[in-house]
Amino acid sequence: MTEAVYRRPDKVIVYLYLRVASSEEVEYLLLQRAPASHAGSIWQTVVGGANWDEGLVEAARREVYEETGLTQLHGLTAIGFAFSFSLSLPEHQASLYAPGINEIRNTVFAAGVLSRQPIALSREHVEYGWFSYQEAVSLIHWPEEREALARLHPLLSARSCFVDGRSPLDSASQA
């Protein structure tokens, strides 16, 4: 059975954001990968694979918990941006995906964090930080993830889209 033997070719990318008290500024949580990981010590947001038996929203929620320990999220929502990248794995990892799979689909989510609290990092990360948009976009390694943040940020920071101090993503929820 393909599902039991191979990884599902879907990933979730979750931008966690926090509103800075007494302002409309937004900060984003970034995680620094362990230097020994396949990607090296890059900065990124929460990223992980979806399991065969879960929906993408469930996968996003699970990955947030696994990588940060956070369980209380506000408005976990797909932001309407997804992308694929070509699969080019080292030979020793090529068998992770079914034969004929040559790309991984990535769906981007965002969720508000209710308050600044300690983050419980998984073993795949060594550091975390809350960053302004400009800092975050300059730290994020992968261009597609920078583009996703560039698409998300105006939704969270545009003054004209706020209702009662919240952006549309604050009140939307798929989970």
Which CATH number does the domain housing residue 31 bear? 3.90.79.10
- Measured over the CA atoms of residue 96, residue 97, residue 103 and residue 107, the dihedral's sign is negative
Q: What is the pTM of this model?
A: 0.84
Q: Convert the pLDDT of each residue in 64-83 to its tens digit.
A: 999 999 999 999 999 999 99
User: 164 falls in which pLDDT band (50, 70, 90)?
Assistant: very low
Quote the pLDDT of residue 85: 83
Quote the pLDDT of residue 68: 97
Average pLDDT of 97-106?
Answer: 86
User: 171 falls in which pLDDT band (50, 70, 90)?
Assistant: very low
The number of distinct structural domains making up the chain is: 1
- Render the burial of 37-49: b for 16+ CB within 10 Å, e for the rest: eeeeebbbbbbbe
Predicted confidence (pLDDT) at residue 145 exceeds the cutoff of 90: yes
Quote the pLDDT of residue 113: 93
User: Closest Cα partner for 31 from 120, 107, 133, 126?
Assistant: 126
Predicted confidence (pLDDT) at residue 163 exceeds the cutoff of 50: no
CB within 8 Å of 94: residues ≥ 6 apart: none
Predicted confidence (pLDDT) at residue 169 exceeds the cutoff of 60: no
Domain of 45? 2-171
Quote the pLDDT of residue 1: 45
Token code pair at residue 144: 């597609």
